Amino acid sequence: MTGRDPGVVVRPLTHADLPDLDLLERELFGAGAWSRAALAEELEGPGRWYVGSQDAVTGALVGYAGLWFDGVDAQVMTIGTATGHQRRGVGAVLLAALLERAREIGAAHVYLEVRVDNDPALRLYERAGFVRMGRRRGYYQPEDIDAWTMSLALGAPAAGAADDEGQGA
């Protein structure tokens, strides 16, 4: 976190958010976007916890993120910030909410996959203390783009993980 005030309120997502969520998902992930049905399943799926960030002034949904807890570890399922609201700290606030939740429910680790060419997401995760574990060849299809798998051991402080190296995966 950088001390920026992104001007959002983070709150749980509900079924009523699906139309806005669907729009954001397609804006951010294009051809790889989850369908509205898939998003609905995610919101209600076992072990899932989804939050949205709402513009404190307009009330618009400008970001969302989801976590899956399997009873031992947690997985970041997705995270996204509306293009017009990026680079203001919204992603960092959402990720912090997921990590706080993961700690509360006793997850030992948090895992995620991220496209190797997704510099903003890599920066976000590395600043939160995630480290790269391995590379999954062709994880994103049909584009055939590799993924980094990343992990964060909870219990170890994330502070101090903020360094500016490691870009350009």
Radius of gyration of the chain, Cα coordinates, nearest whole angstrom = 15
Q: Find the binder of ligand COA among 118, 139, 158, 169 (CB under 6 A).
A: 118
Beta bridge partners of 145: 140
CA dihedral 81, 129, 32, 98 (to 10 degrees): -60
Minimum CB separation of residue 128 from ligand COA in Å reads 9
Q: How far apart are CA 69 and CA 140, in angstroms?
A: 23
Interface with ligand COA includes 120 (CB under 6 A)? Answer: yes
> Quick count: other Cβ atoms within 10 Å of Cβ 85?
18
Choosing from 19, 119, 135, 166, the residue that interacts with ligand COA (CB under 6 A) is 119
**Interaction of residue 87 with ligand COA, rule CB under 6 A:** yes
Among 74, 79, 99, 110, binds ligand COA (CB under 6 A): 79
Binding site for ligand COA (CB under 6 A): 2, 28, 79-81, 86-92, 114, 118-121, 123-124, 127
